[in-house]
Amino acid sequence: MLLLDNGTVRIGIDRAKGGAITWLSWAAYPKNMVNVADPGRLIQQSYYAGLRLDRRAEGQSKSWSPWSWNPIQGGGVSSWARVTVFERQEGHTLYAETIPKLWDMPDEEAAAVMRQWTSFEPGMADVVVVRCEFTARRAADDRWGPARLSPQEIPACYFTRNFSAMKSHLGGSEWRVESQKPGPPWGKATPPRQAMAFFAPNGQGVAVFSPAATQPWNFGPHGGGASEDPTAGPCLHVAPIDRVNLGPTSTYRYRYWLVVGTEAEIAARLDVLWTKYAAERATLSNP
């Protein structure tokens, strides 16, 4: 694992787990709150493209069939992805290049590469900024076919189950409580400022700000209880969604932010981020 620690927040990426974010803690919540129970959890890149195919004869998971082309940074349904570059850049940025796995298969690498830069937002010790880049390297005539409009998780996040108080930020000190029964299927929310926060019983929370999201977000708990165990099955999920024509050789880029603290602290940071980055969008080449 590579870690950044500025005395307020500790953020970490794990080479053994696809270079995805597997650790997030802060001074007022020193435990890891990222769920790492399997390759589909974590805080990670996840993309969809092409036709939904039944490949059970080739070993496709029965639980995920039929399924589209779905490269996952963490790995496939029962295997972890391969990391080709894993380093700390200039002392303040964590960088990883990953050959993702296709989620629906036990151990099949996707024809793609993911790159990710993780650092702290300048001037904000309690805010992490993550820059993601995905490049597809599929054959133009492969079985999944040409580009078709598909949802993209920007990013897919899984937190420990105790962060179960769910809210959308409305600006200033205003929040909207969101409720959802345990899934999947997940619930849908439309946060007007592209930020949702999740709070533990002690009042500490984490917000995801993803200004590039263009669709309703997926969110909700999985399983019961209020476990603080990062390896437990129960968890809390959120995924901002964009929808694009991800083609066989597309490159897709976006940024998102993680903000930690109390409700008031998070709200103040989100207001600043909204002012600075509300107009930011993802970019897509070779659609």
Each residue's pLDDT tens digit, 200-248: 999 999 999 999 999 999 999 999 999 999 999 999 999 999 999 999 9
pLDDT of residue 226: 97
Which CATH number fits the domain that encloses residue 151? 2.70.98
pLDDT in tens, 96-137: 999 999 999 999 999 999 999 999 999 999 999 999 999 999
Q: How far is CA 144 from CA 70, 72, 122, 140, 232, in A?
A: 11, 16, 41, 9, 34
Two tokens at 158?
A: 């899984």
> Can you give the pLDDT at residue 200?
98
What percent of the chain lies above the pLDDT cut of 90? 100
What are the C-alpha distances in Å from 234 to residues 37, 94, 134?
A: 9, 28, 29
State residue 193's pLDDT score: 98
Placement of tokens 């409009």 in the chain: 149
In which band, very low, low, confident or very high, does the pLDDT at 29 lie, cut at 50, 70 and 90?
very high
Question: CB–CB of 150/215 below 8 Å?
Answer: no
Question: What is the predicted pLDDT for the residue at 163?
Answer: 98
Q: Where residue 95 falls among pLDDT bands split at 50, 70, 90?
A: very high
Q: How far apart are CA 261 and CA 94, in angstroms?
A: 22
Q: What is the pLDDT of residues 42-84, one digit of tens each?
A: 999 999 999 999 999 999 999 999 999 999 999 999 999 999 9
**How many Cα neighbours within 13 Å face the side chain of 146?**
2
Considering its fold, how many domains does the chain have in total? 1
Task: State which residues form the domain around 211.
Answer: 2-285
For the whole prediction, is pTM greater than 0.85? Answer: yes
SS3 11: strand
- Among 96, 108, 102, 104, which residue's Cα sits nearest to residue 133? 96
How much is the pLDDT for 37? 98
Average pLDDT in the chain: 98
With pLDDT > 70 as the criterion, what percentage of the chain qualifies? 100
